[in-house]
Homo-oligomer: A and B are copies of this chain.
Amino acid sequence: MLSKKTQYAFHALTYLAENYSKGPVLISEISQERQISLKFLENILLELKKSGILGSKKGKGGGYYLIKPADEVHLAKVIRVLDGPIALLPCVSLNYYEKCENCTEEICGLNRVMTEVRDSTLKVLENKTLKDILRSR
């Protein structure tokens, strides 16, 4: 399951996408509109910024904004930034790979099946973008 953090991230990002033309948006505005605890949201937006999804501007008239248009922000990327691996096992993760103990990948049947699961999940998440989850369509 996706963490609250990731779910909040999606809510915040769609809000930013829907208000793209307004320029930088205040954390407090997103917090109020999407009912997310202000300080928690602050951390989330910071992580999204560090990962290159958002930009920010300080001082009056500042706030957060999408660096790329909504249809270039892939859902898989957002999940990876906040929740980490999408795969069901570390040994089949593309971005967070870790070797299994007590299990040789070549002969491990679970490894084979979970690779299949990963690929079919990514086929969706890497081809869907923020644009696909906007409210106003």
Contacts and interface: CB of A to CB of B under 8 A. Distances in A.
Contact of A102 (B35, B75, B89, B134): B35
Interface in A82-130: 85, 87-90, 102, 107-110, 112-113, 116-117, 120-121, 123-125, 128
A98 to B, nearest CB: 10
B2 A88 contact: yes
B133 A113 contact: yes
A124 B120 contact: yes
A1 B89 contact: yes
Contact of A132 (B109, B121, B135, B137): B109
Interface of A: 1-2, 7, 10, 14, 34-35, 75, 85, 87-90, 102, 107-110, 112-113, 116-117, 120-121, 123-125, 128, 132-135, 137
